[in-house]
A and B are shown apart, each in its own frame.
Chain A
């Protein structure tokens, strides 16, 4: 079945550091890929998405590229801010159904 694997956390960075959170997936066919962010006490918010190979999703300085050859969708940001502190989830929506399959999440803490 479908699965998503995220890099183990937590991740702690200083403000303005470069961020990478790795995500790889297993799915049949051509899934859509997503990054969601969850701030403390809040629900999941869609951060960005990509629906086909080589697409780049971007939002709020974050970006991720759909790499079919490596089955990856790594999240990057060039300069993180304290306000980026949250839990980040990689997810996919497979062609066999509409449900989202999530990774376990990566806790990011950015210190001033």
Chain B
């Protein structure tokens, strides 16, 4: 597609629910990133894929967070047993190669109530 597409745009989850956030990167983009942006803060790195390989997951805050990109295109970020502190905007970005500017999606705003 023309840009990075994320869905859903908004998600409200009850505490303890599992959620799945989807990212469709730009076609052909090898690198894919997930970031978490708390209200009024800059984005914080979560995880990075190169094609289907998850090369860096050091930013995932707990083992409740899991990301996959099984065919090297669409990626899913899953959060199990959501907590209030998980409320944030989750941003996906893709790039043709490492070190270049990345194209960001509009994000998924997750609110845990």
User: Which A residues are within 8 Å of any B CB, using their own CB?
Assistant: 4, 32, 34, 36, 41-46, 49, 51, 89, 91, 93, 97-105
Contact = CB atoms under 8 A, between A and B. Distances in A.
Interface in B70-113: 91, 93, 95, 98-99, 101-107
Contacts, number: 57
A93 B35 CA distance: 14
A102 to B, nearest CB: 3
B45 A99 contact: yes
| 3 closest Cβ pairs, A-B complex | A102-B42, A98-B98, A44-B104
Interface residues of B, number: 25
A102 B37 CA distance: 10
Interface in B1-56: 4, 31, 33, 35, 40-45, 48, 56
Contact of B43 (A42, A44, A46, A98): A44
A42 B87 CA distance: 17
Nearest to B101: A46
A43 B104 contact: yes
Contacts of B61: none
Q: Could you tell me the dominant secondary structure of chain A's interface residues?
A: strand
B41 A43 contact: no
A98 B31 contact: yes
A89 B42 contact: yes
Contact of A34 (B31, B56, B101): B101
A46 B104 CA distance: 9
A93 B99 CA distance: 6
Contacts of B105: 43
Contacts of A49: 101
A42 B4 CA distance: 12
B42 A46 contact: no
B106 A99 contact: no
Given A46-B101, A97-B48, A99-B48, 11 more contacts: A49-B101, A89-B42, A97-B56, A98-B31, A100-B93, A103-B42, A104-B40, A104-B42, A105-B40, A105-B41, A105-B42
